[in-house]
Amino acid sequence: MSRAQFRAPQAIVDRLREELARALAAAPNAVDARTVCVAVGRLVAADEAPPNLPVAWQGEIRALVNDTALESLAGEGARLVSLLTRREEKGKDDTGDMADHARSAFGARDRAELLRLGASTALGDGTPLSDQDELAIEIFDALLSPEVHRLVPFNHVRGELEQEIAPRHRRRFWWRFEGVGLDPAAWDALASVAALVARFDAARQRFEALVAVERVLKGDAAAKAALRSLESAKPETAQVIALGRARRGRVVELARGVRVAAAGEPALSDPFADAPIVHEDSAVEVRFKAGDGGFGLRVIVWGEGAAGLDERRAVLVTASSGESLAPREGLALPTLWWGFFEGARPATVDIVSPARRIELPRERA
């Protein structure tokens, strides 16, 4: 879901506004100032504008620098890491028993970040948390951030706030959203994958190619060059050039002899396998294909630009008359876009993010 498309369900927005109204109903005081900040933070995280707070509440919020209330957060982080280790020792069957513990730890860190977000929004400046509270947050993050890969089996818990937190704020909530789209079974399958890769050389080559592709699509510029080297050095892996995952369970592999695999859909070959590159830089690759009565475009975005790519309007194609053109067919992924258009090709096309204006080859007379 792109930033422009995000809209929290109205029932959730109403609940968040009611929570803030109840918090503001009390007389301004130091204890409820935290509740007010968290309620404001929830609205901001949902991309909803909170109301201006009375001056008296702002004073109580500013005084939070002298208060301490997050001392248990570091303990929550340490406990979760310990439970993750215990789960690996006992096996994946312990996941269900740990879900509540994980939910408690995530919730505690959520409240700390919402407190930060709400306080900075209410005051319009830095977050006025005490040194002790900031230290508790730092300890939690230092404990859990190296273990975030081990949270994948709990993605069903981590994704519970997906409808409440807008995409542009999710980086702040990394413990919930880093890798939340991965298959929850992926971590537990690592041992089996390792055994397969160790046993069969062809499996190892396929695995290396897929890892290189994933790094490219994540925005690793160095991996882009490495993937090309891999393709040249190992022709057997040349079928894998780009891979992306669409929402709703659709898996797309773009390559020479690529297949587009979707539920109920037949395999398709890559329509741009032999199309020339008309623009390439450190962030963008554009391929162009001329056809009878129309043309096609494929755009892959690399690097930091991929984070801001609007998957619904990745490319703006405008006719010479100024009218926007819609593709008759296409594919939209977070880092990849392609479409086929009818009619004469325009002189240029615009990429939304990172901003680029691409000149297309002129039609032959």
pLDDT tens-digit profile of 53-70? Answer: 888 888 888 887 777 778
115, 118, 124, 129: CA torsion to nearest 10:
-10
AA letter at 338: W
Query: Can you give the pLDDT at residue 270?
Result: 56
Q: Domain spanning 277-359: which CATH class is it, in words?
A: mainly beta
Query: Can you give the pLDDT at residue 207?
Result: 81
122, 126, 132, 137: CA torsion to nearest 10:
90
Half-sphere exposure (Cβ direction) of 363: Cα atoms closer than 13 Å: 13
Query: Can you give the pLDDT at residue 240?
Result: 35
Nearest Cα residue to 17 out of 59, 56, 46: 46
Domain boundaries in the chain? Answer: 10-177, 190-261, 277-359
Query: Can you give the pLDDT at residue 331?
Result: 65
Query: Can you give the pLDDT at residue 328?
Result: 75
Q: Give every residue of the chain whose pLDDT is below 50, as ranges.
A: 1-4, 227, 230-231, 233-269, 311-312
Residue 38: partners with Cβ closer than 8 Å, 6 or more residues away:
111, 114, 115, 118
AA letter at 244: G
Query: Can you give the pLDDT at residue 157?
Result: 92
The contacts found for 194-202 with CB under 8 angstroms, 24 or more apart, are 202/236
204, 149, 9, 125: CA torsion to nearest 10:
-130
Assess contact for 132 and 64: CB atoms under 8 A: no
Residue 222: partners with Cβ closer than 8 Å, 6 or more residues away:
none
Query: Can you give the pLDDT at residue 345?
Result: 84
Query: Can you give the pLDDT at residue 75?
Result: 81
